[in-house]
Amino acid sequence: MSNKNWHASYLRLHPKSALKNLEQPFVYHMGRDELYEIDERAQDFLLRCNGESRGKELTTDADFVEYCLEEGILEGHEQPVPTTVTVDDGLIPSLRYLELHLLHKCNLNCRHCYLEPLQPIEMPVDSAVDITRQFSDTGGLRLLISGGEPLLYKDLKTYLEQTRALKIRRVLFTNGTLINSGNISWLDVDEIQFSLDGWKKGHEHLRGRGTFEPTLQGIHLATAAGIPVSISTMIHQYNLNEFERLRDFIEKIHAIEWGVDVMCVSGSLMKNPDLTVPYETAARYLKYGFGGGYHGSSEGFACGRHLMTVLPNRQAVKCGFYVDRSLGDSQKSLKHCWLNMNHVPLDQLECKGCAALEECRGGCRFRAPHPLAPDPAMCAFYGISR
């Protein structure tokens, strides 16, 4: 169908699009992880795009309809294709990103793992599905399926099948070594994020001998299957001369995001101080990264404004570094846990007068020496002397 012939077509909200009431109305395209701010009039129109009415019966706003068709927000059909269109009511502040730790078991023994010592508990699949459904129903956008190594989760296939229809973007976090030609066919997620912490020497110095090639194989299997791929890299002493090669590889595989970060001294890293890099040195490598990420703040608040983590025991926490500070049982009420969250206003930070604060937003609260202190990694990145 030509976008210009929408008047006679039955308009339907695209299956990869969802209406979300966050701080204001949005359309969320799950396939592209794209948010479109709309007004109430546009929301009302899109709610009526249920595949049962022709375009000419719904609106005369040609520019808006053609834009929605072009962006994949709407689709047009020659015959009625009925669907139910609803809007997910969000919380204030909105819980947009949920990191779900299905288990903390892992097949690797990485020298920087912040979860060390690992706990043997594994989340029951019915709990995982219920928590995910709550997240979707409260306006959630991006679900980060994590561990440990999620491919060790015995019910992963069942979990993915039972959450497929939810209006969220499902992102699998993995070290990549367990992806193979057998399981790639049912890993029907919207994105796979691989941990790639250098080229062969640097990566294996962090994650162990023999881990590099299986990770690359997993990446190539995912790209061949048409699954969007993103990369996560930690800056450490043994990969500093490998970033140019990493960048070339990441461009070659058309990764949609490259998250580059400075490690927080926690877990196994406390026993491996040789891995750490001075913040002033690490700062220039942060510039390699690209993409949106999900740890960001929002206007007036520090990091984590829209993010929460759920551990395998169902306890909700601010993020995985705060395992000892439970916000409550997420299966009983994910909403209640979220409303227990303490959000740090920027005007309470010690660096509230800093010229870089509007862009930096205070950096990582865990990496800062105390909750209201500046993040030294971000100070180095923006050239701020402390």
pLDDT at 115: 79
> Taking the domains of the chain in order of start, what are their residue ranges?
3-89, 97-343, 346-386
Distance (Å, rounded) from C-alpha 140 to C-alpha 354?
Answer: 32
Q: How confident is the model at residue 329 (pLDDT cuts 50, 70, 90)?
A: very high
Across the strands, what pairs with 76? Answer: 11
What is the average pLDDT value for the chain, to the nearest integer? 94
Nearest partner of 43 among 57, 62, 22, judged by Cα: 22
pLDDT at 218: 98
Quickly name the fold that domain 97-343 has: TIM Barrel (3.20.20)
Nearest partner of 16 among 185, 251, 228, judged by Cα: 228
Helices within the chain (DSSP H only) = 40-47, 55-58, 62-71, 125-137, 156-163, 200-207, 212-224, 243-252, 279-286, 334-339, 357-360, 376-381
Across the strands, what pairs with 347? Answer: none
Across the strands, what pairs with 36? Answer: 27
With b for 16 or more beta-carbon neighbours within 10 A and e for fewer, the 272-286 pattern comes to: beebbbebeebbebb
Phi, psi angles (nearest 5°) of residue 197 = -105, 40
Q: Once rounded to an integer, what is the mean pLDDT over residues 121-138?
A: 97
User: What confidence tens digit (pLDDT) does each residue in 349-370 have?
Assistant: 999 999 999 888 889 888 999 9
Would you call 351 helix, strand, or coil by DSSP?
coil
Residue 318 exposure: Cα atoms within 13 Å on the Cβ side: 17
pLDDT at 90: 84
Q: Environment class of residue 8 by beta-carbon count within 10 Å: exposed (0-12), middle (13-18) or buried (19+)?
A: exposed
Distance (Å, rounded) from C-alpha 66 to C-alpha 74?
Answer: 9
Q: What are the Cα distances from residue 340, in Å, to 102, 329, 336, 371?
A: 22, 11, 6, 17
Phi, psi angles (nearest 5°) of residue 19 = -90, 130
Torsion of CA 261, 266, 269, 271, to 10 degrees: 170
pLDDT at 377: 92
Name which residue leads in pLDDT, 300 or 56: 56
Distance (Å, rounded) from C-alpha 71 to C-alpha 63?
Answer: 12
With b for 16 or more beta-carbon neighbours within 10 A and e for fewer, the 104-141 pattern comes to: bbbebebbbbbbbebeeebbebebbbbbbbbbbbbbbb
How crowded is residue 175: how many other Cβ atoms within 10 Å of its Cβ? 27
Name which residue leads in pLDDT, 377 or 115: 377
